[in-house]
A and B are shown apart, each in its own frame.
Chain A
Amino acid sequence: EAGVAQSPRYKIIEKRQSVAFWCNPISGHATLYWYQQILGQGPKLLIQFQNNGVVDDSQLPKDRFSAERLKGVDSTLKIQPAKLEDSAVYLCASSFTDMNTEAFFGQGTRLTVV
């Protein structure tokens, strides 16, 4: 079974530039998550999708971050404009809708803002 795919693996941008990350979840997983993992910390949820609808985006800095999941499969996370403090690993995860199931994580995109 293919896992969660993310691209790119690494990205370096200057502050105030924009950047986008892509995620392809495991086939059949209706729920998709984006997490931000700052160095030395655990992952923190940014947004949760159920199919193509947003379930929870309470922790997403909406003035600069946006995410979409068109057609309920792939998802993109965008940052515009980027700040130095956005340097982090952005992890995508997916799970079945069923309650008793965990999330499966991709390898992440490491973003460095200089």
Chain B
Amino acid sequence: AQSVTQPDIHITVSEGASLELRCNYSYGATPYLFWYVQSPGQGLQLLLKYFSGDTLVQGIKGFEAEFKRSQSSFNLRKPSVHWSDAAEYFCAVGDRGTNAGKSTFGDGTTLTVKP
């Protein structure tokens, strides 16, 4: 069965600093991979996705992620964090066998941004 691990429950960074959120997955083949962001009281907004091709994926709001098959990782990065990036971030693995929308999620990383 597929699974996702987000090792960091909570991360605090200063505004303007760089950010990396870690994601490790378990899946039998090449997966669909997603990063979502969730602000308090809101649904999930897709930041970026990997289906195939270039392993460095660009997303919205200045985020990027790199798929590393050898490490089973899909870490999310941003070079300079803004206070509005404070939220919860979820990594997810989509089921390539049926439909990409059917996903297994990690338990999330809460990002706090210090002024």
Binding site for B on A (CB under 8 A): 4, 31, 33, 40-45, 48, 55-56, 91, 93-95, 97, 99-108, 110
Contact = CB atoms under 8 A, between A and B. Distances in A.
A107 B42 CA distance: 5
Interface in B41-56: 41-46, 49, 51
Interface residues of B, number: 27
Contacts of A101: 100-101
Nearest to B99: A31
Contact of B105 (A40, A44, A99, A102): A44
B94 interface: yes
A73 B47 CA distance: 26
Contacts of B44: 43, 91, 93, 105
A26 B36 CA distance: 18
Contact of A42 (B98, B101, B107): B107
A105 B46 CA distance: 9
Contacts, number: 69
Given A42-B90, A42-B106, A42-B107, A102 B100 contact: yes
Contact of A103 (B41, B101, B104, B108): B101
B77 interface: no
User: For B34, B42, B98, B102, which residue has the most chain A Cβ atoms within 10 angstroms?
Assistant: B102
B22 interface: no
B4 interface: yes
Contact of B108 (A31, A42, A55, A99): A42
A41 B92 CA distance: 12
A27 to B, nearest CB: 16
